[in-house]
Amino acid sequence: MTEPFRIAISSCLLGERVRYDGESKLQSWLVDCGDVVWVPVCPEVEVGMSIPRESIQIEESCDGIKLLGVESRQDWTEQMNNFARQRVWQLQAADIVGYVFKARSPSCGIGDVPLMGALGQAVVGKTNGRFCDVLMEMWPELSIANEVMMSDAKQRVEFLQRVQQTR
């Protein structure tokens, strides 16, 4: 019998109703992952955003990349960066061997988050979510995936094999 391994995951993918609209994104592939202890993380809720909440987006500005409320223009960048650093240290101490992110999320997306131009008026590219970006900077060797990758059986098996090898 193999010992379970710990993988962090966006809470909404486990069925927790933490998304901006108060919904979840429960994933059916979770049952196909064997001996995994899922460690839920929702950076937006953990940083202090409410459920439900205003949508946020990543925008270019003269001060760099910002994480902003779409309508209120509230700047969450510094709070998210500070939170992310603390949370990554906690995850490292918790023996996490991988992370599954919510795709296209302004906090959790992996290279697929719309990057808005100044004042948020048009998409000018794609980027990482703010939390994901900090995690990748601090912990580049951690195996990561998103729910789109994990829904493909071959990619899911490859990810799980990668994380098992790091234990």
- Is 14 inside a domain boundary? yes
- Is 91 inside a domain boundary? yes
The Cα 19–Cα 125 span in angstroms is 23
- Is 86 inside a domain boundary? yes
- Is 27 inside a domain boundary? yes
**CATH classification at residue 41:** 3.40.50
- Is 123 inside a domain boundary? no
- Is 17 inside a domain boundary? yes
* pLDDT, tens digit (0-9, with 9 covering 90-100), for 19-51: 999 999 999 999 889 889 999 999 999 999 999
The more confidently predicted of residues 38 and 165 is 38
The Cα 154–Cα 122 span in angstroms is 35
Per the CB < 8 A criterion, the answer to whether 8 and 100 are in contact is yes
The SS3 of residue 14 is helix
Range of the domain at 24: 5-54+81-109+128-162
Residue with token string 């927790």: 16
User: What does 21-87 look like in DSSP terms, one character per residue?
Assistant: TS-----GGGGGS-SEEEEEE-HHHHTT--SS---EEEEEETTEEEEEETTT--B-HHHHHHHHHHH
Structure token digits, residue 112: 């697929």
* pLDDT, tens digit (0-9, with 9 covering 90-100), for 68-126: 999 999 999 999 999 999 999 999 999 999 999 999 999 999 999 999 998 777 999 99
Half-sphere exposure of 28 (CA within 13 A, CB side): 3
- Is 157 inside a domain boundary? yes
By CB atoms closer than 10 A (0-12, 13-18, 19+), residue 88 is buried
- Is 74 inside a domain boundary? no
Domain count for the chain, please give it. Answer: 1
